[in-house]
Structures are given as structure tokens and as C-alpha cells.
A and B are shown apart, each in its own frame.
Chain A
């Protein structure tokens, strides 16, 4: 069964510094998508970044980038130049494909605290 593990329940970083959030997953599939979502106190789940497993190049979105290690089944998120607005719960998710159902399997989340 596919599982997603986030081993850091909480992380804190000084504003303007860099922080890395860890995620590992387990799968026997070769083609899949991985995601990082951000959930602020408003509860709105916001897509931060995605990675297609068949792409070797790590995805980047402005200050957000990933370190995708397919063989190690690792998918960490790096946030550069941290801002107060980055404070939120961050969830790593793996997308499985069962027939036409593209459901997401989620980690337990990491709470990111930004220190001013």
C-alpha cells in the first residue's frame, strides 16, 4: 500500500532564512505525481509545488523547490527567504491512479513556524 511519511511534526525558521521539510513515501509504481500543499489557518488547501516522477529535474516555483530522490523515495521541500506568510501546515501528498480515480494519499503534515 502507498504511504506518505512526514517525520517532522513542527519546524521553525527565522524570517529570511531557508528551511527544508522532509517527506518520504512508499510505492511500487513507477509513474506518479508528488505534491506539497500548504494549509493556513483558513483551512484552504493551496498547491505549492508538484513533481512528475518521470522527470529527473527538480521542480521549482519561485522561493519553493524540491529535492526529488526517486530511488530513495524522498521528496523534500525547500523554502528560501522565508516570509511570515509562509507560516502554515505543509502536507506532502502522493497521487495514485486507480482506474480513473486520482486520489491523493497524504502525510500527517509539518507545522512551519516563522520567527520574525
Chain B
């Protein structure tokens, strides 16, 4: 079946512009995670959605970052007034339920802020 998809694959933007990154989870997966991966580093947790519950936003680095998810479908991560330190790969993962330990990852969006 289809895996997690993300778009765009690559995004180059000018400092100060807003960007939107999209994640399509695996159908039926209720849990969705966003992670950030800076060059040469491991992943940092950003935000978690579970069904219709309030999201866990504890990993968002600043109020310039926000994310939405409608039900158990697509999620959008928005970064406002981008800064050069926002340059990274943004990875999305989904899992079957909140009790499921296995997360399935998308290919990520590489964001470059010039």
C-alpha cells in the first residue's frame, strides 16, 4: 500500500518568507509526528497529532512554527518569517494508533532558507 508522502521534496525560500510543508499519512493511521533533522544530526521532535485530540506542540522551537491536521488526514507544517537556521529536512511519520510503537516515515522535505 501507499506509504507516507510529503511535498514538496525540496523547497528553497528567501529569508522572511512563509512556507508550508505537507504530509499525507498512511490511510488509517491516527497518530502523526513532525520531526526536524538538521544537517549531520538526529531528529528533533516538533509536534504530535492523535486523532481529534489537542496536539502536543511541546517541540515547536518558536511561535513562527505551527501545524494543522484535519481529523486523521493530511497535515500541514507552516513556518512563518523563515530564518536561515530553519534550513533542515522536515520529516513526517505516522503510526496506526497511539499505542503503536512503530512509526512510518515519509521521505522528508529539504528546506533551504537563503
Contact = CB atoms under 8 A, between A and B. Distances in A.
Given A42-B107, A43-B89, A43-B108, A104 B45 contact: yes
Interface string A89-116: 0010101001111111111110000000
> DSSP majority for the A interface?
strand
B42 A101 contact: no
B91 interface: yes
Interface residues of B, number: 28
A79 interface: no
B65 interface: no
A101 B51 CA distance: 12
Given A46-B105, A103-B45, 8 more contacts: A43-B110, A44-B108, A93-B42, A95-B101, A100-B50, A102-B103, A104-B35, A108-B41
